[in-house]
Chains A and B, each alone.
Chain A
Amino acid sequence: MLPLLTREKNADRVLRHASGDKRFKILEVHMKKHQFRQDALIEVLHKAQELFGFLEDDLLLFIAAKLKLPPSRVFGVATFYHFFTLKPQGEHTCVVCLGTACYVKGADKIMAAIQEKYRIKAGETTPDNQLSLLTARCIGACGIAPAVTFDGHVAPKLTPEATLEKLNTLI
């Protein structure tokens, strides 16, 4: 619906709000490096997620305003790619690779063990915000399958028990 004249536009509100946060400045420098080109949208989203941890609405609106793109386009791209998350992540992340090589070597059992112990499904975060459980389609570590990534570090040749032990030391 058309905004009333007295109502502040979303983009203006976001730009005003962003001026106080240093991370927005860093993001803008990154966009400038890409000459604010619209085709750099995915690169910019990567940087935004690296800075903020996840992509919230105001952040997407900020990017849309700076790259002069319709918000629907930014949202469409952000939700197309699995790598981008619109929800905040837990303190620690655990990415179970479910590629074929890991799967035939028992990645499904690792997954089941984590789900049972922490009572979360893939894509969810524990209520205490300690652990986010994610899955990957293949991290290219097939030679050392099954592999799990803990906070960005790949661990090779795991069993359900070893995985739970790792998580225990992490959390």
Chain B
Amino acid sequence: MQLDDLKALVAKHIGARKKIVLRTCMSAGCMSSQADVIKRNLEAEVKAQGREAEVEVRRVGCMGFCGQGPLIGVDGLSAKEKLFEFVKPTDAPAIVASLQGAACDVQVGNPDHPFFARQMRIVRANGGIVDPERIEDYLAVGGYQALHQVLTEMQPSEVVDEITTSGLRGRGGAGFPTGLKWGTVAKSAGAKKYVVCNGDEGDPGAFMDRSVLESDPHIVLEGMAIAAYAVGADQGFLYVRAEYPLAISRLQTAIKQAKALGLLGGGIFESPFNFNIDIRIGAGAFVCGEETALMASVEGKRGTPRPRPPFPAESGLWGCPTLINNVETFANITAIINRGGAWYAGIGTEKSKGTKVFALTGKIKNNGLIEVPMGIPLRQIVEEMGGGAPAGGHIKSVQTGGPSGGCIPAAYLDTPVDYESLTKLGSIMGSGGMVVMDDATNMVEIAKFYMEFCMEESCGKCIPCRAGTAQMFHLLEKITQRRGTARDLAKLEELCDMVRHTSLCGLGQTAPNPVASTLKFFRSEYEALLQPDPFGPRPSVTTQSAEPVTL
């Protein structure tokens, strides 16, 4: 299909739109509160009140303010959008009637609330606006134009340069420069290359990728296609965890639609470029977020990581050069191509460019998804956008980076949110989970919670992670049950160091972070639980006996 044909399609689609649009959030969060019934009721009510000529009900993806859901946005009524919160299926008649000025007691949100006003939406630009199951909606907001531009006007190396200029870094957690990664894969020799999208969002407390995949699947597909052109791949895999059935079904729909319009498959935009995407469904293994484990899983094997080098960029899937990026990384690509790498590099801080999506959850008033420029102080996120702790509580700490991250105490809330600053505090940017804890939260229990997670998710391949996390969990259990001594705490610290430096993959290497960071900032909570040592001090381990007896 040519660009002109697409434009005609879009013009027809826009022409058929009605004056007032009721956007119903149909993401997993709101769906759990009967958003599907609400949409049905709204449609019936529009018919019953005879407003079909002017009013349409549209299924949209996540609007972000999940804690206030189910949400309904109204366009075309006034200059500013109107947002209904906590909608119930029985509210449908009142909402439709209110479109003609009738009084309505459904709670109306404030679009100027800092939760919305402080956001800068690039990745989530279309979230809550387009219908994720209709490609026409995505095309109507300029979708697939970046792919067209890349295929018709740019050399693959120019695409890589543009991404390098943007300063984009991997959004999966480690923050590796994306342009550099693309360049390496592009330069690697090999007739067959692959592009893999990591949608195995395993961090508990994170749902940014789910939201992007459910709300705007095409932005990820287009990003992958551009990447494939840049590195010379013709096959892509989108690895999604099985816990996200709605995301999987919307992706399947999106791929089918894109193929039907010739935007995926053979000879895209009548160029020689071919690109196919297959979905691979995970099966509940956190370690598969690690890239070498993910590749093993895509190959249908046990998801155990392997030592790097060789890096996937040189030897990945079936030994071929493979580009692996996270969902959010791919979702940034179209904006960078459309508006230029220099524009993107102007957002954020010196070393952390662009925006980052965070899932703001836990003991906080405003739960939901936010996208903010890098470098924003943590305090602005938590206190202004998040509204602070719920009634009566005080924020004690903010956990970022999930089981690989750490707890940032309230005293450090003025820290700018970027890769380096968070690492300096013993946490990491991670994939974007931000769980707020108040003074009712016991930090040793939190450390134990994460250690249990890592222990259960350890693949069992390397000893430090398999046996080390089990011992650390055991020590934490001892301490929380008030059976631990100062010696147990010393052992715990010793294992923190050992597991971090000797584990094979990122899961093990970062597993001690939650313990180490809570020990650093909340040590007194640990010490308060310790019991006196009944045996007194003993010689340290490091003393070597010359003639060992037997074991």
Within the complex, the shortest CB–CB distance from B365 to chain A, in Å, comes to 12
Q: Is B435 close to A, CB under 8 A?
A: yes
Contact with A along B417-461 (1 / 0, CB 8 A): 000000000000000010101000100001001100100010100
Q: Which residues of A contact B69 (CB under 8 A)?
A: 143-144
Q: Which residues of B contact A82 (CB under 8 A)?
A: 283-285
* Contact assessment for B205 and A38 in the assembled complex, using a CB-CB cutoff below 8 Å: no
* Contact assessment for A143 and B363 in the assembled complex, using a CB-CB cutoff below 8 Å: no
* Contact assessment for A154 and B32 in the assembled complex, using a CB-CB cutoff below 8 Å: yes
* Contact assessment for B281 and A42 in the assembled complex, using a CB-CB cutoff below 8 Å: yes
Q: Which residues of A contact B304 (CB under 8 A)?
A: 80
| Interface segment out of the listed B180-188, B294-302, B500-508 | B294-302
* Contact assessment for B283 and A46 in the assembled complex, using a CB-CB cutoff below 8 Å: yes
* Contact assessment for A103 and B449 in the assembled complex, using a CB-CB cutoff below 8 Å: yes
Query: Residue of B at shortest CB range from A103?
Result: B449
| Interface segment out of the listed A17-25, A93-101, A113-121 | A93-101
Chain A, interface size category, equals 35 or more
> How far is B281's CA from A46's CA once the two chains are assembled, in angstroms?
9
* Contact assessment for A41 and B300 in the assembled complex, using a CB-CB cutoff below 8 Å: yes
Q: A100-B449, A101-B362 are in contact. Are A141 and B284 (CB under 8 A)?
A: no
Q: Is B244 close to A, CB under 8 A?
A: yes
Query: Residue of B at shortest CB range from A37?
Result: B300
Q: Which residues of A contact B286 (CB under 8 A)?
A: 137
Q: Is B33 close to A, CB under 8 A?
A: yes
* Contact assessment for A140 and B298 in the assembled complex, using a CB-CB cutoff below 8 Å: no
* Contact assessment for B202 and A40 in the assembled complex, using a CB-CB cutoff below 8 Å: no
> How far is B127's CA from A125's CA once the two chains are assembled, in angstroms?
40
Contact with A along B369-389 (1 / 0, CB 8 A): 100000000000000000000
> How far is B441's CA from A158's CA once the two chains are assembled, in angstroms?
19
> How far is B33's CA from A145's CA once the two chains are assembled, in angstroms?
12
Q: Is B356 close to A, CB under 8 A?
A: no
Q: A100-B399, A100-B449, A136-B243 are in contact. Are A81 and B285 (CB under 8 A)?
A: yes
Q: A40-B300, A144-B69 are in contact. Are A104 and B284 (CB under 8 A)?
A: no
Q: Which residues of A contact B449 (CB under 8 A)?
A: 100, 103
Q: Which residues of A contact B298 (CB under 8 A)?
A: 39
Q: List 19 A-B contacts (CB under 8 A).
A: A37-B300, A41-B300, A42-B283, A42-B297, A46-B242, A80-B285, A81-B303, A84-B284, A100-B402, A101-B204, A101-B205, A137-B284, A138-B203, A139-B28, A140-B207, A142-B433, A145-B367, A147-B32, A156-B32
Which 9 A-B pairs have CB atoms at the shortest separation, nearest pair first?
A143-B66, A99-B204, A81-B283, A82-B284, A100-B205, A138-B204, A140-B207, A41-B300, A101-B361
Known: A77-B302, A101-B359. 14 other contacts (CB 8 A): A46-B281, A73-B301, A77-B300, A81-B303, A98-B204, A100-B399, A100-B402, A104-B437, A137-B204, A137-B286, A139-B243, A142-B207, A142-B367, A154-B31
